[in-house]
Amino acid sequence: MNTLAHDHVITRCFDLELDAVRALLCDADGNLFPSEEPAFAASAKVTNRLLAELGSARRYHPEELRLATTGKNFRTTAADLAAAVGAPLGADQLERWIAEEKRDVTDHLRRTLTADRDVLEPLSRLSRRFELAVVSSSALTRLRACFDVTGLAELLAAERHFSAEDSLPKPTGKPDPAIYTWALERLHIRPSEALAIEDSATGARSAVAAGIQTIGNVQFVASEERAARIGELEDAGVAAVISSWSGLETLIGSEAPAESMAGKAVE
């Protein structure tokens, strides 16, 4: 199945099974807020300092780095770049650069992100039907700073933040499914009881590999990149692609079906 839909639903690739779904597992960067561009503006400066320390003449423009590494965290990016120039990073050296990038990017995002009603309002309505959780490659300190300035902190409780960088016994980035499996375990739900929302193919592959139905969201993807991103998300196995959080409401509904209330006592 691969049909066009309407009202912010771009494609539907597979039928969704929603009866058992209790939780929406949301990627953060580029999905809940438009953090990709400002994050890479700060991250590129750190990346270029890292490359200089490694003796490489290679330098990245923020946009070039974003396009090359979307969906990856800095731990993976730094290790990959160091290996590419033949200068693998030692454990202490890697951790030092991760801490530096985390600090610089978090500070920059805290200054640049703002609240967005087009996210807050649909997500608030969706929270009436589903438990909300965050499953991200980003560090917890960065996530919490972003949630504070975007007004999402009240909807996304700290105990339901899951970071591939900080939450796992060993940091393991997407597309490995480890962080999604970890989130399922901590939330005490089965894969069939979750629905993942991802903006990148890397993240979508992580959720799909964990056995979770997944929706692609291109709300914050630049218009000139959307067609390619939609194709990548479809190839990663998403059930549908939406162009906004309102599109998710259209697709799955924000209120519990009336029949689910049948037979319940009124307190």
For the chain, residues classed under CATH 1.10.150 are: 36-112
Regions of the chain short of the pLDDT cut 70: 1-7, 257-267
Instruction: Quote the pLDDT of residue 91.
Output: 93
Q: What is the DSSP string of 119-188?
A: HHHHHHHHTTTSEEEEEESS-HHHHHHHHHHHT-TTTS-GGGEEETTTTSSS---TTSTHHHHHHHHHHT
Instruction: Quote the pLDDT of residue 79.
Output: 93
If phi > 0 it is left, if psi is from -120 to 50 it is alpha, else beta; for residue 94 that is alpha
Assigned CATH for 3-35+115-260: 3.40.50.1000
**Which backbone phi and psi does 123 adopt, to 5 degrees?**
-65, -35
Rounded CA gap, 22 and 193, in Å? 5
Instruction: Quote the pLDDT of residue 175.
Output: 95
Cis status of the peptide bond prior to 34, with omega within 30 of 0 = no
For the chain, residues classed under CATH 3.40.50.1000 are: 3-35+115-260
CATH class label, 36-112: mainly alpha
- What type of residue is 226? R
Instruction: Please identify which residue in the block is written with the tokens 């703002």.
Output: 114
Q: What are the residues facing 4 on neighbouring strands?
A: 11
